[in-house]
Amino acid sequence: MITKEYITDLKHKGNEEIAHFVGNQRDVGNINFILENLGQLPQNFNPDFLYNLLNHQYAQVRLNAVKNIGKLNGKSDTKSLFELYKKEVDTSVRREIVSSIGRQRKSTNKSLLFDFLDDEDPKIVCQAIRGLLVFENDNDVEEHLKPLINHQNEMVRTVIYKEYFAKENQNKKDALPHTETYEFLKNVVVNSDVLEALKYLPDESVHLTFTSPPYYNARDYSIYPSYQAYLEFLEKVFVETHRITKEGRFLIVNTSPIIIPRVSRSHSSKRYGIPSDLHPYLVKNGWEFIDDIVWLKPEASVKNRVGGFMQHRKPLGYKPNSVTEYLMVYRKSTEKLLDWNIRSYDYKTVEESKVSDGYETTNVWKIDPCFNKVHSAIFPVELCKRVIQYYSY
C-alpha cells in the first residue's frame, strides 16, 4: 500500500526514484495518489516524468501532472503546456494549464494569456485575466482586458468592472457612514402606497428589506389588470428599493407560485410561478442572487389540492398540496466582498450581533404559519426573527 510517508521518502531519495516508481505503476489510482501527494517540489526537481504524463490516456492523471508542473516556480516548459492546451479536450485539464501558465508571472507569457482570452470557456478567460492582472500599469494588458467589459459572460464582465471601472466610483461620498441611517427612519410604521412612500426615503439609507409582495390577484387587496402589469409594478418597487439600499446589503423576497381559480368548469385554473418570473427583473436591475430558502409549512395548514386525486387516482390529475413558500435572497450588487460590509462595524457591534446556537443550517426552514382576523397575510414572528438575525447588524 502506498502511503504519504512513502512518497516523502522517495522525494528525499531523489526524483529519479519517484520517476522510476511512477513509471512502473499500472494502477491509475496509485499514479493519481502519488501525484496528489507530491507536495512542495525541491529546487533541483527533474520534472521530465511529469511531462511524459501529459500524454497519459486518463484525464485525471494529465490534470495532476499539470498541477505539479505548475509548482516549478517559473521553470516549467510553457511550450509543452500550450501544445497540450491546443489538443486537450478535458475542460478541467485545459483550465489547469491556463492557471499554471498564469502562476508563472512571466511577461514572456503575456501573448499566450492574450490568446486564452478568446477561449469559449469563461472560466479559462477568467484564469487568463487573473494571470494578466499581475502586470500592473501595463498598457498592453489594459488594452486587451478593458474591452472585455462587453464580454458575453457575466462573470468576466464582473471581474473587469471591478478591476478597471468600479474605481471611478470609489471617491463617491455617502451622505451617511455605511453602518448608520437617518433617525426619522428608526422604529417607524408607515401606512401608505409603497411607491409613494419610497419616494421620501434617501438614497442608501436602508440596510435590510424583508417583504412579501401581493400574490398577484390571489387576494382581494391587490387587483392587477394582467400578470405582466403585476411584474412590472414589482419591478418599479424593487428598483426603488435598490436605490435606498446600502451598498452590498440584502433584500429578502417571500413569494410562492399561486393559483388563479378557473372561470368555470369548462376552463382550467391558472398557476403562476412568481419566484422564477420575478427573478430576472431583480437581477436586471442590480440585485445579485445569493440564496433560495424554502419555508416549509405543516400540510394541515394549507389548502387541500390533492383531494380530487385521492378519489380517482388517475395519472395526469395529480396536484400535490403546496406546503412551501420561497425566501429569495438578493444582495445589492457591488464589487466589494461581504468582509467589507462586516468590517464597517465596530468590534462590539459585530460580537453582539453574532447568531446564537440553534441556528438553521439548511435552506429548508420549518416554521408554522400565522393567522389573523385583521390581516389575511401576516409573517410569523420566527420567520422575521431569522431573517433579521441572519442578514443585518
CATH 3.40.50.150 domain span(s) along the chain: 183-391
- What's the topology of domain 183-391? Rossmann fold (3.40.50)
Q: List all residues 6 or more positions away from 358 whose beta carbon is below 8 Å from its beta carbon.
A: none
Decide: pTM greater than 0.85. no
C-alpha cell of 372?
A: 389573523
Neighbours of 374 (CB within 10 A): 5
- Reading the chain (393 residues) residue by residue, the pLDDT tens digits are 899 999 888 877 776 788 888 888 889 999 999 999 999 887 778 888 999 999 999 999 999 999 999 888 766 789 999 999 999 999 999 999 999 999 989 999 999 999 999 999 999 999 999 999 999 999 999 999 999 999 999 999 999 998 998 865 555 555 689 999 999 999 999 999 999 999 999 999 999 999 999 888 766 667 889 999 999 999 999 999 999 999 999 999 999 998 887 778 878 888 899 999 999 999 999 999 999 999 999 987 778 889 889 999 999 999 899 999 999 999 999 999 999 999 999 999 999 999 999 999 999 999 999 887 777 678 899 999 999 999 999
4-169 folds as Leucine-rich Repeat Variant (1.25.10)
User: Boundaries of CATH 1.25.10.10 in the chain?
Assistant: 4-169
Question: Alpha helix locations (H) across the chain?
Answer: 4-13, 15-23, 28-36, 48-52, 59-69, 78-87, 91-103, 110-116, 122-132, 139-145, 154-160, 194-198, 227-244, 274-284, 307-312, 338-343, 347-353, 381-391
